[in-house]
């Protein structure tokens, strides 16, 4: 005959444990907001640097300045344009399917809907990937700008 199982005694969380748990969930939910703040700062740079670049070229070369259109110039502005597009894509909200009855979904079932915690993690991860690619492209544009002055 099966033994009758005894309930496992449990104690309520103390104040420190509850505070840690609360901070943990606040951190998860705030990751997307942090990525948005980063995107806003990156957008400011991506709009300002090309203008600054053009102004410096004008100051260096004078009123009758002409700029040789070469591959480096196309690459510079191409990289900057792609970086700007990725940053804007990170700022535009993406539609996610979320099952609000599930806190953490099995990754194999993400197609059915994310859990609430998964939503915050996946949203931040999506933005982070776009912003990392944007940053790399923007740096590549700055690097290629060096070769436009030749």
Distance between CA 96 and CA 114 in Å, rounded?
8
What count of other Cβ atoms lies within 10 Å of the Cβ of residue 6?
6
pLDDT the model gives residue 147: 86
Phi, psi of 114, rounded to the nearest 5 degrees:
-80, 155
pLDDT tens per residue across span 58-109: 777 666 666 677 898 899 999 999 999 999 999 998 888 888 888 888 878 7
pLDDT tens per residue across span 15-59: 887 888 888 888 888 888 989 999 999 999 999 998 888 787 777
* Prediction pTM value: 0.78
Count of CA atoms in the C-beta half-sphere (13 A) of 138: 22
How large is the greatest C-alpha to C-alpha distance in the chain, in angstroms? 99
Q: Token digits for 39?
A: 């995107």
pLDDT the model gives residue 100: 83
Residue 22 burial by CB count (10 A; 0-12/13-18/19+): exposed, middle or buried? Answer: exposed
pLDDT the model gives residue 2: 61
Q: Which of 72, 90, 84, 74 is nearest to 137 (CA)?
A: 84
- Map tokens 């806003």 to a residue: 40
pLDDT tens per residue across span 2-19: 677 777 776 676 788 788
pLDDT tens per residue across span 107-137: 787 878 888 888 888 899 999 999 999 999 9
CA–centroid distance for 28 within its chain: 14
pLDDT the model gives residue 1: 52
Q: Which of 137, 39, 133, 122 is nearest to 88 (CA)?
A: 39
């Amino acid at each position: 005959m099966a033994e009758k199982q005894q309930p496992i005694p449990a104690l309520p969380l103390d104040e420190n444990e509850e505070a840690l748990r609360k901070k943990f969930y606040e951190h998860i939910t705030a990751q997307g907001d942090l990525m948005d703040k980063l995107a806003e700062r990156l957008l400011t740079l991506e709009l300002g640097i090309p203008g600054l670049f053009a102004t410096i070229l004008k100051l260096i070369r004078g009123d009758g300045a002409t700029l040789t259109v070469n591959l480096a110039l196309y690459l510079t502005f191409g990289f900057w344009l792609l970086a700007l597009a990725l940053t804007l894509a990170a700022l535009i909200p993406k539609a996610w399917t979320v099952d609000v009855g599930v806190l953490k979904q099995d990754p194999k079932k993400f197609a059915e809907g994310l859990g609430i915690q998964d939503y915050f993690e996946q949203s931040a991860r999506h933005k982070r990937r776009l912003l990392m690619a944007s940053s790399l492209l923007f740096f590549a544009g700055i690097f290629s700008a060096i070769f436009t002055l030749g």
